[in-house]
Amino acid sequence: NAGVTQTPKFQVLKTGQSMTLQCAQDMNHEYMSWYRQDPGMGLRLIHYSVGAGITDQGEVPNGYNVSRSTTEDFPLRLLSAAPSQTSVYFCASSYVAGYNEQFFGPGTRLTVL
């Protein structure tokens, strides 16, 4: 099993550009989520999904879109990048929502100039 994979590992964008961060898991987990991690802030939930076709907002959803067309994939789209979105982004998955530990991907380090 590859676990949770994320691409790309690093990305530099200019303000106003859009892009998609990819996330995939091969553990047949129902729950997937996206976090951002900033110095001194801890991990903050952006969006999550409790199953294919179902998504919901987390703490900091503004400026981001998600979709979940398959169990395996959960891409995160930045609509119009802003410097405030400079961060490290982690995708995570777990068997079900709410009770189980999450498995995290290796992260994507995004810089917006």
Binding interface with another protein (CB under 8 A)? 4, 31, 40-45, 48, 50, 56, 58-59, 90, 92, 97-107
Shortest distance (Å) from residue 110 CB to another protein? 14
Going by C-alpha positions, the residue among 36, 38, 30 that lies closest to residue 6 is 36
Q: How far apart are CA 89 and CA 44, in angstroms?
A: 10
Shortest distance (Å) from residue 87 CB to another protein? 14
Shortest distance (Å) from residue 45 CB to another protein? 5
Task: Closer to another protein by CB, 77 or 104: give it.
Answer: 104
Task: Closer to another protein by CB, 15 or 100: give it.
Answer: 100
Task: Closer to another protein by CB, 19 or 43: give it.
Answer: 43
Q: Given the structure tokens 């949770």, which residue do they identify?
A: 4
Q: How far apart are CA 77 and CA 67, in angstroms?
A: 9
Task: Closer to another protein by CB, 52 or 82: give it.
Answer: 52
50 is written with which tokens?
């409790």
Going by C-alpha positions, the residue among 78, 91, 90 that lies closest to residue 49 is 91
